[in-house]
Structures are given as structure tokens and as C-alpha cells.
């Protein structure tokens, strides 16, 4: 009986689960393929490690390349109740179809019930590669 209980404990002690980690940095886009100052929705995969469980999930971001050295990457959901928003080319704004929140291209609320600007991913640029990190919430203005 003691042996039966000690084997799982020994395995746990020898191979502890990896702790829950925050979002890892992922290569999300090739900046040379993005037009300057034109929002583009990009799709990328993010791998998460939680204990022994490793999962990969598809994610998206709205990216605006301001210059080869400056990029903004917005999380794809509205800050009101989390609907997916879209880019309105004719108005040059991001519009949430659920309750009509309207956001400027720098993520600020122009109109609607959204309580704060769009959330952003941390970004790094390595050559022409765009890396996205954890999401950061932009506080109310
Ligand atoms: S969820 Fe976007 S305005 Fe309500």
C-alpha cells in the first residue's frame, strides 16, 4: 500500500508540472507584407503551458504598422462586452457591431458604451518579424 502511494509522489517530485505561465511571445506576422497605416487582422497561434497540459489556440489581432519600427496590435474584442469588432474602411474607425461602439485608429473610444480604449498586445520587432506578447489593458482616459 505504501509503495502504491509513494510512486505517484516520487513522480511528482522528480517531474513537477510546469507552473502556469503568462502568454509567451509569438511570431505573428511579417511586417514587410503589411501596408503602412492600414489596419489588418492577422491570425496567429499561441501555445500555453499549464502544468503538464500544453495547448495551442488560434488567436487574432488588429495590427497597424505605423512605420517599420512602430506597430500597434489591438486585441480583437471590444472593451464593452467582448464582441469582435471590425475595421470600417469608409470611416477609418473600428466599429463594434453589437452596441455600436466606435474606436479611433489609436484605440480611443469615439462613441458608444465601451468604457475604455481597445486593449493592446505588447509588441516587439525583430527585423521584419512582428512578435506579440501579453495583452495589456489600457486604463480609462
Ligand atoms: S460589445 Fe462592443 S459595444 Fe457592446
Q: How many other C-beta atoms are found inside a 10 Å radius of the C-beta of residue 50?
A: 12
pLDDT at 100: 97
Contact 78 CB / ligand 1 (< 6 Å) = yes
Number of DSSP helices (H) and strands (E) in the chain, helices first: 1, 10
pLDDT at 55: 86
Residue 92 or 6, more confident? 92
Domains of the chain with bracketed CATH: 17-136 (2.102.10.10)
Q: How large is the average pLDDT for residues 14-36?
A: 77
Distance of alpha carbon 27 from alpha carbon 133, whole angstroms: 9
In whole numbers, what is the pLDDT of the chain averaged over residues? 88
Contact 116 CB / ligand 1 (< 6 Å) = no
**Which range, 8-12, 17-21, 130-134, is most confident?**
130-134
Q: pLDDT band at 139, cuts 50/70/90?
A: low
| DSSP H stretches of helix in the chain | 2-14
Residues linked to residue 64 through DSSP beta bridges, in sequence order: 72
DSSP 14: H
Whether the predicted pLDDT of 101 surpasses 70: yes
Q: Which atom of ligand 1 is nearest to the CA of 99?
A: 3
Residue 50 or 115, more confident? 115
Q: What is the pLDDT of residues 39-91, one digit of tens each?
A: 999 999 988 787 888 888 899 999 999 999 999 999 999 999 999 999 999 99
Whether the predicted pLDDT of 3 surpasses 70: no
pTM above 0.85, yes or no: no
Q: Which atom of ligand 1 is nearest to the CA of 81?
A: 1
Amino acid at each position: 500500500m505504501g509503495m502504491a502511494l509513494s510512486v505517484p509522489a516520487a513522480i511528482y517530485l522528480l517531474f513537477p508540472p510546469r507552473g502556469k505561465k503568462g502568454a509567451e511571445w509569438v511570431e505573428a506576422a511579417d511586417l514587410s507584407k503589411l501596408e503602412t497605416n492600414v489596419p489588418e487582422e492577422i491570425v496567429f497561434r499561441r501555445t500555453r503551458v499549464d502544468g503538464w497540459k500544453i495547448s495551442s489556440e488560434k488567436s487574432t489581432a488588429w495590427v497597424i504598422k505605423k512605420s517599420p519600427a512602430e506597430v500597434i496590435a489591438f486585441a480583437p474584442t471590444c472593451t464593452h462586452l467582448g464582441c469582435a469588432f471590425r475595421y470600417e474602411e469608409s470611416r477609418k474607425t473600428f466599429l463594434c457591431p453589437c452596441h455600436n461602439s466606435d474606436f479611433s485608429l489609436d484605440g480611443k473610444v469615439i462613441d458608444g458604451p465601451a468604457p475604455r480604449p481597445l486593449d493592446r498586445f505588447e509588441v516587439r520587432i525583430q527585423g521584419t518579424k512582428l512578435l506579440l506578447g501579453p495583452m495589456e489593458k489600457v486604463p480609462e482616459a
